[in-house]
Structure 1
Amino acid sequence: MKSVSKAALAAAVLFAAPYAVSAPAAAQKKQKEEAPKIKVSEPFRKAAVEVEALLNAKDFQGAAGKMDALDALATNEDEKFYVANFRLQTALGIKDNVAIIRALDVLIANPKTAPDRLPQYYFVRGDLTLGQKKHAEAIPFLLKARELGYASNGTNLNLLIAQAQLDSGQLDAGVANIDAAIKGEEAAGRKAPETWYKFAVDRLYRGGKKAAASDWLGRQMAAYPSAQGWRSTLLIYMEQAREKGVAMDADLQLDLFRLMRAAKAMGGEADYIELADLAQRRGLPWEAKAVIEEGRAAGKIQATNTAANELHRSAVTREKAEGPLAAEEKGASAAANGTAAKNLGDAYLGSRNYPKAVELYRLALQKGGVDANLVNTRLGIALAMQGQKAEAKAAFQAVSAAPRGEIARFWATWVDQAPAA
C-alpha cells in the first residue's frame, strides 16, 4: 500500500508555460491568433525572458534565484500564471517538493490554467502531500482529481484515497474505496491483488469491526482460497459471533470445524481434538475416531497426547457398541416426524456414508418436525462431500437466518472452490 514515488511523479508531469514570453515576432503573431489574449507588462516580460532562458539552459538553480523577484513584478492573473509555471518547472528541476506544492496551489486557483491540466495538478498536489504524511490534508486533492477524471499512470487512485483515509482514521470511507478499487479492477477484466483484501481485513479487525472483517475474509477466500485463509476466516467468525452474543452451540461449532477440515485448514492438535470432542458429544464416534487418526497421520497429534488418546479410546468403544445403522432405517421411515431420520442422517454423515446421509436428510425434511436450517446445512455438506456441487449449493441456499445462514454461506463459497469430484 504505497503511493508512487515522487521522482516518478515529477518525471511524468511535463509542465510548461503555454505562451513563450520571448518568442520571435512571427511566432508571437501566430500565438496571438491561436491563444487567448494575455496581458504582460514590459518590466515583467524582461524579467521573465531571463528566467525562461535559464530554464531552457536547464540552469534550474539560477532560475530559482530569480523567482521571488519575478513574483514581485506579477500584478495580474496572466503574470501570476507565468510565475507559477516557471516556479513549477524550476522546482521540478531541483526536486523541491515544497516549491512544487506552492506552484500547484497557484495554478489550481488561477483562472488561466487550462481545465485539462487540473486533474493532474490535483493528483500531484495530493500525492506530494501524502509524502509529507499529511493524510487528511491530501484527501480533498485526491478526491478532486478523481472527480475530474484523472487517469492514473501506475497508481490506483481509489487505493491511494483509501490509504489516505485509513491513515487519517476514516475507516469506513477507506474500506469503501478499497472496495471501489477492487470493483474497478474487476470491471477492467483484472483480478485485484490479495493484499488489498488483507489490508481491508486487517484495518477492520484492528478497528474493532469484526463482523465486517469476517465479511471481507469471505470475499478474500472467494478470490484467493487458501488453507490458512480459511482457518483465519472461520476462527474470526466464531470469535466475533460470540462477542455479539450469538450462542455458538455444539452443532454450529461442529459444522464450522467440519468446513475447516474439508478445506484442509486444520492447524495444530487443538483443532483436531476440538472437532473430535464436538463429534463425540453429538453421538458421532465414527467421526471422532476418524478425526484423531487423521491428526496423528498428519503429524499434528503426538502419540503421547493424553486428551487425544482418551477421545480415540472412547470413540472406538462407542463405535463397537453401535449396532448396524441400516437396521434403523425402517424405524426412521415409519416415524411420525423427521427426527429419527435426521439423527440417522447425522450418523451416516459422521461415518462418511454420504449417499445414505443425503437420503435420510431428505426424508427428514419431507416428514417435517425438524430444524430445517440445520438439516439443509448438513444435506448440503453431504452433497458437497460427494461432489454434487449444484445440489449442495441449492441446499445451502435454502438455509435462512443467522447464524446458520452465515455458516451455509461459508460452505457454499468452499463448494465453488473445491475441485470436481
Structure 2
Amino acid sequence: MKACSRAYLAAGAMLLVSASFGISPVASAHDKVSTVMEVGGTKLAVSPQELRALSALGNLARGTQSARQDRALADARRVANSRDARFALALYELEIGNRRGDDAMRAAALDMLIASPLTRPERLAGHLAVRGQIAYRAGDFDTAAALWGRLAELTPNDPDALANLAQVRLAQKDTAGGMDLLARAIAARTALGQSVPEDWYRQRLSIAQQGHLVEPGVDAARALVAACPTPENWRIALVVYRQLVAAEGALEVDLFRLTRHVGVLRQAAEYQRMAQLLKEAGEPREAKAVLAEGKQRELLDSTTSPTREIIAEVERAIGRPGIVRPEPPSAAGAAVRLGFTRLNAGQRSEAEAAFRVAADDQAGGPYADLGFFWLTWLGR
C-alpha cells in the first residue's frame, strides 16, 4: 500500500526561495573604467559609479529601514545601465521584495533574472517556480502557465512542478490537461518513493466527476482507495464511481453490496434504494437485512414514507416463494457474485480467488473494477 500525505502543494502553496546571496563587492585596482564585484560567486563588471550605488544598496538590503532602502533603490536604478549592474540590482530587489512580501518588486526582479544569461542554471528553476506562483496568485494564468510550463520542461520528473502546472491548466478550463498532469505528478512521486499528497488523488477524481470523464474517473477512483484507503475516501470513490458508470440493474445491486460491506452506506435514500433493488432482484431476505441495518443506524424510520411502504413490499415478497434470481451479466459478474457469497460464508481465501478472477478479466468492464475494489478492501 502506498503511503499518503495530507499535505497538498498547490500552485499557491509552493515554498518561496530566499534571496540571500552573501554579496561582497571587490574593487579592481588596475581598471578605472570597469570594476569587478562578486555576487554569490558570479563576477560582474560594473562601472565605479554603479559599484558605489549597488554597494550602498547591498548594505541596506537585509535591513528593515525601508525609507533608506527606497532611496538606495532609486539611486541604484538611476545609474545601473550595464547588463551586469542590472543583474546585481535585480538580486538586491528580490532580496528586499522577499523581506517585504512585495510581489510587484519580486515579480519585476524575477523577470530580469529569468531573462538574464547571467542566471545560473541551478537557480533558474527556483526563479521560475516563485515567479509562476506570483502570477498564479494574481490570476494571471497565462503567465503562470508559461513559467511553470518552462519549469516542467527543465525538471520533467519533478512531481511538484507538474502538480502546480496542473492547477494552472485547470484554472484555464483545460480539464484533460490538468488530469494528465496530476496523473504524471502522482506517477513521478511514486517513482521517487515519496508519499503522494492525498488531495492530489481526490482532486483528480473530483475533476473527472465534474467533467464526467468516465475512464479517467474510474482510474482515479481505483487509485484513491489503493493509495489512501480511509473510510471517507472509500465513500467518495464508490459514490463517484457509481455516478460515472451510471450503474443500474445487477451492477447497481452489486455495487451497493460492496458499499455496504465497506461500511460507507450512509444515507437513508441509499438504504431504501438498495432494499428495493434487492427485492426486485429476488433477494427479499437480504433486502430485509438492509432495512434492519438502516433502522439500527437510525437512518430509517419504519413509520414514515417511503420506508414504511418498502418494508411492506419486502415482507410481501418474502411470503411469495418461487421468484427466480437473475443471473449476473457476465463471467466477471458471476465471479464477483461468487466472491460475495464465499465472503458471507466466512471463506475469505476462496472469496479473494473469485474476486481476482473478476479483476483480471480484461473484458469484465465494471465488474473487473468491482473485483479490484473488493481485493483492495480485503488487502487493506
For the aligned pair, the TM-score class normalised by the smaller chain equals: 0.7 to 0.9
Q: Does structure 2 retain, via aligned residues, the 8 Å contact 1:21–1:49?
A: no
Deviation at 1:396, TM superposition (A): 0.9
Q: Does structure 2 retain, via aligned residues, the 8 Å contact 1:384–1:415?
A: no
Count of paired positions: 362
Q: Which residue of 1 aligns with 2:299?
A: 300
Q: Does structure 2 retain, via aligned residues, the 8 Å contact 1:273–1:292?
A: yes
Q: Which residue of 1 aligns with 2:171?
A: 167
Separation of aligned partners in 2, 1:49 and 1:292: 80
Deviation at 1:86, TM superposition (A): 2.9
Separation of aligned partners in 1, 2:13 and 2:353: 51
Q: Which residue of 1 aligns with 2:365?
A: 405
Separation of aligned partners in 1, 2:358 and 2:202: 27
Correspondence 1:343-362 to 2 at 5 A: none
Q: Which residue of 2 aligns with 1:380?
A: 339
Residue 148, structure 1, aligned to residue 154, structure 2: yes
Change (3 A) 1:211 1:307: farther
Query: Any idea what the Cα deviations from partners look like across 1:277-329, whole Å, max 9, x if unmatched?
Result: 223223333323333333333333322232232133213313xx459xxxxxx
Change (3 A) 1:121 1:371: closer
Q: Which residue of 2 aligns with 1:261?
A: 260
Separation of aligned partners in 1, 2:139 and 2:274: 48
Separation of aligned partners in 2, 1:274 and 1:254: 9
- Give the 3-state SS of the residue equivalent to 1:220 in structure 2: helix
Separation of aligned partners in 2, 1:108 and 1:270: 57
Task: Give the structure-1-normalised TM-score.
Answer: 0.72
* C-alpha RMSD over aligned residues: 3.8
Change (3 A) 1:184 1:37: closer
Q: Which residue of 2 aligns with 1:223?
A: 227
Separation of aligned partners in 2, 1:398 and 1:90: 59
The residue type paired with residue 102 of structure 2 is: D
Separation of aligned partners in 1, 2:232 and 2:102: 46
- Give 1:129's match in structure 2, choosing from 135, 156, 164: 135
Separation of aligned partners in 2, 1:101 and 1:344: 68
Separation of aligned partners in 2, 1:4 and 1:371: 47
Residue 396, structure 1, aligned to residue 358, structure 2: yes
The residue type paired with residue 209 of structure 1 is: L
Separation of aligned partners in 1, 2:210 and 2:41: 55
Change (3 A) 1:82 1:381: same
Correspondence 1:252-291 to 2 at 5 A: 252-291=251-290
Q: Which residue of 2 aligns with 1:84?
A: 90
Query: Any idea what the Cα deviations from partners look like across 1:106-140, whole Å, max 9, x if unmatched?
Result: 12222222222212211221122223222331122
Q: Which residue of 1 aligns with 2:73?
A: 67
Deviation at 1:398, TM superposition (A): 5.4
Q: Does structure 2 retain, via aligned residues, the 8 Å contact 1:126–1:138?
A: yes
Q: Which residue of 2 aligns with 1:20?
A: 25
- Give the 3-state SS of the residue equivalent to 1:15 in structure 2: coil
Change (3 A) 1:345 1:170: closer
Residue 9, structure 1, aligned to residue 8, structure 2: no
Q: Does structure 1 retain, via aligned residues, the 8 Å contact 2:249–2:277?
A: yes
Separation of aligned partners in 2, 1:111 and 1:97: 23
Q: Which has the higher contact order (CA 8 A, sep 6+)?
A: 2
**Which blocks of at least 5 consecutive residues in structure 2 are unaligned?**
1-7
Q: Does structure 2 retain, via aligned residues, the 8 Å contact 1:383–1:391?
A: no
- Give 2:182's match in structure 1, choosing from 178, 182, 193: 178
Q: Does structure 2 retain, via aligned residues, the 8 Å contact 1:136–1:165?
A: no
Separation of aligned partners in 2, 1:42 and 1:148: 37
- % same residue: 23
The residue type paired with residue 397 of structure 1 is: A
Query: Any idea what the Cα deviations from partners look like across 1:331-372, whole Å, max 9, x if unmatched?
Result: xxxxxxxxxxxx7897xxxxxxxxxxxxxx9xxxxxxxx953
Bigger radius of gyration: 1
Worse-superposed segment, 252-261 or 378-387: 378-387
Query: Any idea what the Cα deviations from partners look like across 1:71-109, whole Å, max 9, x if unmatched?
Result: 343343222222222333333344322111111211222
Task: Give the structure-2-normalised TM-score.
Answer: 0.79
Separation of aligned partners in 2, 1:35 and 1:275: 70
More helix by percentage: 1
The residue type paired with residue 9 of structure 1 is: L
Separation of aligned partners in 1, 2:13 and 2:336: 51
The residue type paired with residue 406 of structure 1 is: P
**Which blocks of at least 5 consecutive residues in structure 1 are unaligned?**
243-247, 324-342, 347-360, 362-369
Deviation at 1:413, TM superposition (A): 1.9
Separation of aligned partners in 2, 1:166 and 1:51: 41
Q: Does structure 2 retain, via aligned residues, the 8 Å contact 1:276–1:291?
A: yes
- Give 2:199's match in structure 1, choosing from 188, 195, 199: 195
